[in-house]
A and B are shown apart, each in its own frame.
Chain A
Amino acid sequence: MTAANLALRRQNKAKRLQKVGRLARGKFVSPDNVPQVLKRIIEPGDILCLEGDNQKQADFLASQLASLERKDLRDIHLVMSCITLPAHIQLFKKGMIRQVDFCYAGPQGTAVADLVKAKKFPVGAIHTYNELYARYYIDLTPRVALIAAAQADRKGNLFLAANTEETPAIVEPTAFSDGIVFAQVNEIVDTLPRIDIPADQVDLVVQAPYPMHLQALFTRDPAAITDVQVLMAMVALRGIYEKYGVQSLNHGVGFNTAAIELLLPTYGERLGLKGKICKYWMVNPLPTMIPAIESGWVESVFAVGGEVGMERYTAAHSDVFFTGRDGSFHSNRAMGQLAGHYGIDMFIGASLQVDINGNSSTVSKNRITGFGGAPNMGCQPAGRRHPTEAWLKVGAEANPGPGSPPGRKLVVQMVETFQAGRVPTFVEELDAQDPSIRKALHGVTPVMIYGDDVTHIVTEEGIANLAACRSIAERQAAIRSVAGYTPVGLKRRKRDTEELRRRGIVQFPEDVGVSPREASRSLLAAQDIKGLVRWSNGLYDPPPQFVDW
């Protein structure tokens, strides 16, 4: 074998770019030529990466790809974080995709379930974010990556603005394996505010006719927080945050954790917890964190992505948020997920279904969503070695054996016992265990957070400390004890609940010093979006759908 044969990919890349020829001026492609260019740079059998997570989308490139036909594009192994756009679904309907490996299909969850039923969705696996990014460096290295950036300069350097997201995690493995990187940008300028991706990792650039889609995914209107959620937030603050001295944490995107953020400057302050908990955050710039930041609770926030409307606020608070030399906000999905995996005391989130073993899932028979990033944070990182107060305290309760680490990360599921429409959250068996779903996933049940990783479940009934349970039977009894009046909860035995309560494994609100009488929305530091704008001194610019004044 000659040395040249070991660089076939490089030769092949040069050949593909040669075929583009005069359809591009240097690196720059006009929007009209994009379908022709895509036909020439993508070959059958390619691993193709299409950038798109739950917030940021290379939507123009996706639509141009979906405008092609099967004769132009077939036998594609698609790798992408999130199947979120109708254009993504088109690729499957047109029969272009040989296999897909992805993480999440939020808004297209129903369409994905339909494709699975029609056997038009040949899935390799559903991943967590960092798991998929890891495979980009191992066996799923993209041949072609279609990405999105805010701006390019004349050389093809890219500025990613607040939503860096997963762009570096896609570009690096592609660019350093002789793959082709094609970027859509909102505009082309002479000088970038800062360079996030250097030009020599970028092969082609198109100025899209419209700005890339950005979803305000993490904005929660305080007006929609209920008294019950306030009660749960009080219970979590006293029974978990205060008890373990949680310093560093990740919050999910739900209203439950938004309620906690809004209780810090009021209830939390009264409990004397300021400076003792909630100092270091791995979380997107949530508007509901503004009152806590303004009240001096927060030391730092690192984020996987930006949030629409928080640009001016984050730029003005560079001591708290990570910002570039240009002064604007910076995020990084892969690094944020890594930080949330190893660096924090606690992950707290919600789910649609929790079974009697503490496994949770958002998948139902008619809606296949997937995981996103929650499992990277909502798990026990077996590679962790550094101790913190909270980590050791939970570890001591979990009574580690001689072959176990001394500490445990707090992995908390905070759920109301019923979802909207009187659908019980607690179930004997997850919908995700449906045989047709398991078959499509090669025998894997799509579990969001495994029961073995969960240390606590918080409901409006109280707290179940799963870490302190000594057997599977005990864990099930603890879960039934806080499952309220769902069928799972109604099966509890009073004797079991009383015994677990005596040992502190099950705690009701009064057991952690919470008076339900106080559980009222009036405790929230802000009552609505307008209140958040006031707290921000006018620096928060809520997206129009949240403005009613």
Chain B
Amino acid sequence: MEKFTKAFPSKPLKARTAKPWALAGVVGSGNLEVLLERAGASGTMECHVETSIPGYKSSWLAALADFATHYPAGGTKVTIHDQGAPPVLVNLRLRQAYDHLTGGDK
């Protein structure tokens, strides 16, 4: 088990976004859940990661940093509960949660 928190600078989320939160994935073997909430300062994406497999912090941080750069996600809080999901699934669940939150708005 490994736990860490980090905030990344990101452009503010589009104002017309209506939903307060969005969830993608489930906590189960080889899977993970991503909860995305509208919270915090408008210029940061605040991330809380809890993973069952320690030792991959740098990969997590790189993936989250890229996400904060690619998408305007300022003013959100990301909570991830990971149960050993393959690395390729992390990005997909993040994008899915983001898509749900923004209703497809970029």
Contact = CB atoms under 8 A, between A and B. Distances in A.
Contact of B88 (A228, A516, A517): A228
Nearest to B94: A516
B104 A460 contact: no
A484 interface: yes
A418 B96 contact: no
Given A515-B104, A517-B96, A461 B91 contact: yes
A519 interface: yes
B14 interface: no
Interface in B53-100: 56, 58-59, 62-63, 69-70, 86-89, 91-92, 95-96, 99-100
A485 B88 CA distance: 8
A227 B62 contact: no
A416 interface: yes
A510 B88 contact: no
B106 interface: yes
A416 B88 contact: yes
A228 B92 contact: yes
A485 B62 contact: yes
B69 A494 contact: yes
A516 B87 contact: no
B7 to A, nearest CB: 19
Nearest to A489: B62
Contacts of B104: 515, 517
A494 B66 CA distance: 9
Contact of B92 (A422, A460, A485, A494): A460
Contact of A227 (B58, B92, B99): B92
Contacts of A227: 89, 92
Contacts of A226: 89
Contact of A515 (B63, B88, B99): B99
Interface residues on B, range: 10 to 19
Contacts of B89: 226-228
A231 interface: yes
Nearest to A226: B89
A519 B87 contact: no
A418 B95 contact: no
B96 A516 contact: yes
A516 B86 contact: no
Contacts of B87: 417-418, 422, 484-485
A479 B65 CA distance: 20
Contacts of B96: 516-517, 519
B95 A516 contact: yes
Contacts of A231: 92
Interface in A469-517: 484-485, 490, 494, 508-510, 515-517
Contacts of A508: 70
A418 B92 contact: no
B36 to A, nearest CB: 12
Interface in A412-439: 416-418, 420, 422
Contacts of A418: 86-88
B28 to A, nearest CB: 13
A510 to B, nearest CB: 7
B92 A516 contact: yes
Interface string A212-254: 0000000000000011100100000000000000000000000
Nearest to B61: A485
Contact of B86 (A422, A517, A519): A422
Interface centre among A416, A494, A508, A516 (most CB of B within 10 A): A516
B14 to A, nearest CB: 15
Interface centre among A227, A461, A485, A510 (most CB of B within 10 A): A485
Nearest to B60: A485
Contacts of A517: 95-96, 99-100, 104
Interface in A178-203: none
A510 B106 contact: yes
A516 B62 contact: no
Interface centre among B87, B89, B106 (most CB of A within 10 A): B87
Contacts of B69: 494
Given A418-B86, A494-B69, A460 B99 contact: no
Interface in A150-187: none
20 contacts: A228-B88, A228-B92, A231-B92, A416-B88, A417-B87, A418-B86, A418-B87, A418-B88, A422-B87, A459-B88, A460-B88, A460-B92, A484-B91, A485-B59, A485-B87, A490-B58, A508-B70, A515-B104, A517-B95, A517-B100
Interface of B: 56, 58-59, 62-63, 69-70, 86-89, 91-92, 95-96, 99-100, 104, 106
Given A460-B88, A485-B59, A490-B62, 16 more contacts: A227-B89, A417-B87, A417-B88, A418-B87, A418-B88, A420-B86, A422-B56, A461-B91, A484-B87, A485-B62, A485-B87, A494-B69, A508-B70, A510-B106, A517-B95, A517-B96
Interface of A: 226-228, 231, 416-418, 420, 422, 459-461, 484-485, 490, 494, 508-510, 515-517, 519
The 6 tightest CB contacts between A and B, nearest first, are: A517-B99, A516-B95, A485-B59, A460-B88, A416-B88, A228-B88
